[in-house]
């Protein structure tokens, strides 16, 4: 049992370290182009080569990263994305696709500091606690809480 717990702890630590490395890399680069971004009144957006569309009254804290690396991102209204939270639309390492999939996030979600989401579909009224991770193949419906440092992936 302790071997399993140790393995899980090591996995979470490695995940958090890679998240911190991604955050440091993004912080060091300046965002120079916002031509592919569409924002409604009151929204603040980060970066990416694909379009990022946001509804109104979203709050994106300094240090948060929204990256449309392998497809567009659509974010609804009144979401809160805390510092060091990452929302990224990217393919798994080594996977290639000619069809860009859209990452869609609903309304009234909270992405706490240090959370990391690659999930293509997130519904409404969800909370991703600090250090949580959602993989690309996960679909989060409505009114869910992903606990601190919890990892959600599909085999």
> pLDDT at residue 55 above 60?
yes
List domains and CATH numbers for the chain. Answer: 2-152 (2.160.10.10)
Could you tell me which residues come within 8 angstroms of residue 146 by beta carbon, excluding any fewer than 6 positions away? Answer: 115, 126, 127, 128, 129, 132, 134, 140, 152
- Contact criterion met (CB below 8 Å) for 122 and 104: yes
Looking at residue 98, its pLDDT comes to: 74
Q: What is the mean pLDDT of the chain?
A: 79
Tell me the percentage of the chain whose pLDDT exceeds 90. 54
Could you tell me which residues come within 8 angstroms of residue 1 by beta carbon, excluding any fewer than 6 positions away? Answer: none
> What digits encode the pLDDT tens for the residues 63-105?
888 999 999 999 999 999 998 999 999 998 888 877 889 999 9
Give the residue ranges of DSSP H helices in 29-143.
none
Could you tell me which residues come within 8 angstroms of residue 153 by beta carbon, excluding any fewer than 6 positions away? Answer: 133, 134, 135, 137, 138
CA angle 91, 96, 100 (to 5 degrees): 65
> What digits encode the pLDDT tens for the residues 99-139?
889 999 999 999 999 999 999 999 999 999 999 999 999 99
13 Rama class: left (phi>0) / alpha (psi -120 to 50) / beta? alpha
């Amino acid at each position: 049992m302790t071997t399993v717990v140790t393995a899980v702890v090591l996995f979470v630590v490695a995940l958090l370290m890679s998240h911190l490395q991604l955050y440091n890399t993004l912080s060091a680069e300046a965002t120079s182009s916002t031509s592919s971004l569409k924002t409604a009144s009151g929204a603040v957006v980060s970066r990416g080569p694909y379009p990022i569309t946001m509804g109104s009254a979203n709050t994106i804290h300094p240090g948060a990263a929204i990256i449309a690396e392998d497809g567009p991102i659509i974010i609804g209204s009144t979401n809160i994305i805390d510092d060091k939270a990452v929302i990224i639309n990217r393919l798994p390492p080594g996977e290639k696709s000619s069809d860009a999939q859209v990452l869609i996030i609903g309304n009234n979600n909270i992405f706490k500091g240090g959370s990391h989401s690659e999930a293509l579909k997130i519904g409404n009224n969800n909370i991703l606690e600090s250090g949580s991770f959602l993989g690309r193949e996960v679909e989060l419906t409505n009114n869910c809480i992903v606990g601190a440092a919890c990892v959600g992936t599909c085999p």
